[in-house]
Amino acid sequence: MKAYSPVSVIVLNFNGRPYLKQCLDALLATDYPRFEVVVVDNASTDGSAEFIRLNYPTVRVIRHAQNYGYAVGYNLVMDRIENEHVAFLNNDVFVKPNWLKELMLH
């Protein structure tokens, strides 16, 4: 059997509150045993970060003071990620439970 390397799943968010419940529910149903979910919030004004903190205590939230956009938004948090393996997702992506297992074990 293959070993399960830890993975950080990083979700970039900017005023994506309408997508977060479905996105995070799907991510947390992932059947891969060693992963963390990190939401990078690009200075949302729609209550996204507060929604996550109240409803998803296992999800790590990193807030930027301004909207840095796509690439910079992701890159600015990489020094705060400890896992060697990283998966980047948008907040409007809804994964199936086996997605990370398929990615990591094949």
Cβ atoms of 56 and 26 closer than 8 Å: no
Provide the sign of the torsion angle of the four alpha carbons 61, 84, 76, 15, taken in this order.
negative
Question: pLDDT, tens digit, for every residue of 20-62?
Answer: 999 999 999 999 999 999 999 999 999 999 999 999 999 999 9
Give residue 97's region: left, alpha or beta (phi > 0; psi -120 to 50).
alpha
Name 64's Cβ contacts closer than 8 Å, sequence gap at least 6: 40, 41, 42, 43, 73, 76
| Cβ-contact 73, 41 below 8 angstroms | no
Please give the single-letter amino acid code of residue 2: K
Question: Can you give the pTM of this predicted structure?
Answer: 0.94
- CA 13/CA 2 separation, integer angstroms: 33
pLDDT at 1: 40
Calculate the average pLDDT of the chain: 95
**Per-residue pLDDT at 53:** 97
| H helical segments located in 14-95 | 17-28, 48-55, 70-75
